[in-house]
Structure 1
Amino acid sequence: MKRLAFKMKLNEGQKDAYTKRHNEIWPELKQLLKDNGVSEYSIFLDEETNTLFAFQKVSGEGGSQDLAQNPIVKKWWDFMADIMEVNQDNSPVSIPLQELFYMP
């Protein structure tokens, strides 16, 4: 099992919309993540900077960041593009973070 972390940026004033959309995550997206080894996935918000901090536990080699070609993922990106910083293809601007400390 590996742990992955990355950060993204939420647009100003979009906390409630972001929370609502994730509380109603599509069952097919949730299943896709689980089928691809994501067993835990948390997203935290730093309200001072609107930075989203994401953490995943993943078995295998991949993670959610490796599902870019999946149509369900692309549809989710399009759904979320109006409330966060995105790239040209509507994927979230996502910056991997390096783990410097872990205490099991």
Structure 2
Amino acid sequence: MQRVCFQLQVRADRLAEYRQRHQAVWPDMLRALAETGWHNYSLFLRDDGLLIGYFETPSLELAQQRMARTEVNTRWQDEMAPFFEGLDGTTPDQGFDRLTEIFHLEDQLAQGTDDAEVV
């Protein structure tokens, strides 16, 4: 399972509405996300508009392709795009900046790092 973390920048003048929109995401959008491989999905928003997203998926490429084929995603991306800075014509679900994972507790524990120094 891939762990995907990404960032986007929400426009300062749209922060309140962006928060409100995510209090009750359309039920068909929620189902589409789950059915196309976006699992354990969370969004975190800083007061200056920095948005951090995290989800797990068997394949990021496949999850994005499957979502792109849904009608609800087309509507959602069209409505959400104006909330973001710097997308340059791409949709938020395709234009995010992916962050590189550098540490995962369970992976290191599974590698048997019992001899690691505890500080």
Q: TM-score, normalised by structure 1?
A: 0.82
Residue matched to 2:55: 56
Amino acid at match of 1:36: T
Verify: 1:96 aligned to 2:95, yes or no: no
Compute the displacement of 1:24 (Å): 1.3
Deviation at 1:21, TM superposition (A): 0.7
For residues 20-55 of structure 1, the C-alpha deviation after alignment (integer angstroms, 9 at most, x for no partner) is: 11111111111011111222111112324x211100
Corresponding letter in the other structure for 1:6? F
| Structure 2: runs of 5 or more not aligned | 107-119
Contact 2:32–2:70 under 8 Å retained in 1: no
Match of 1:17 in 2: 17
Q: CA deviation at 1:95?
A: 0.7
What are the ranges of 5 or more consecutive residues in structure 1 without an aligned counterpart? none
Residue 2 of structure 2: aligned partner: 2
Structure with greater Cα Rg: 2
Distance 1:21 1:44, change over 3 A: same
The percentage of aligned residue pairs carrying the same residue is 26
1:62-101 matches, within 5 Å, as 62=60, 65-66=64-65, 67-85=67-85, 86-89=87-90, 91-92=91-92, 93-101=95-103
Task: Could you list the structure 1 runs, at least 4 aligned residues long, displaced by more than 3 angstroms after superposition.
Answer: 62-66
Shift of 1:64: 5.1
* Aligned partner letter, 2:39: S
- Give the aligned length: 101
SS at match of 1:24: coil
